[in-house]
Amino acid sequence: MYHKVAPRPAGSLVPHHYVSPKRFQAHVRALTRARFRAIRLEELDAEYENTDRVVNFSFDDGYENFATNALPVLRAAGMTATVFAVAELLGASNEWDTELGDVPERLMSSDGLRAATTMGIEIGSHSCTHKRLPTCDDDSMLHEVAQSKRILSAILGRDVPIFCYPYGAHDARVREAVRAAGYRAACGVGKGWNDKTTDQFQLKRVNVRSDTSGPLLFWKLLRQSRLR
Ligand SMILES: [Zn+2]
């Protein structure tokens, strides 16, 4: 799980969310060397049958710096990724963070998302406005879950089957709404690997921070696979 691939600006409230472009290159290099194959999350079901090393790069929030700093590196390595976009804020910025005094970061536009999909990138939903869903009333929560799927599907001209809970926050009511809206799976922020026995509406991830080196990322992946 990544957030931003960019140099860390002064004043960031969550500096470890910024992975430098150089470091991201090191991650892709380390996983390439270790013969990991990158997949989209919509391929997960089929991939559970495989025993080779499979990884998914996920990028929360859909920052423009994914397109400028991560996408070219992934393409050069022949790897794909999943971008979780905030459907009603495309082309705007991370106002859920800036409200708290954080540094603004531009979010990908609808054109940018479309362009990314033509390069094999998967787009998932990260809600409409990045609200903490368990604290929303039913109407607002259902809107965030279902309307974001409709908006992104209309933009991309295809179904959007994967959801990602803002802040990794979910409960039984939210998970049921995500399932009822027609999603096939959803990511939280619980750590670990996923297999057939994992609740597909609580997919686990490995957190990647600004100080996660290439070898450390490789080690984190292996350690999580032993812990699952
Ligand atoms: Zn987010």
20 three-state secondary structure: coil
User: How many angstroms is it from 94 CA to the middle of ligand 1?
Assistant: 9
Question: Is pLDDT of 207 > 70?
Answer: yes
Category of 112 on φ-ψ map: left (φ > 0), alpha (ψ -120 to 50) or beta: alpha
For 4-227, CATH gives 3.20.20.370
How many whole angstroms separate alpha carbon 217 and alpha carbon 215? 5
Ligand 1 midpoint to CA 51 (Å):
31
pLDDT of 30 over the 50 cut: yes
CA of 185 from ligand 1 middle (Å) equals 17
Q: Is 169's pLDDT higher than 80?
A: yes
pTM (predicted TM-score): 0.96
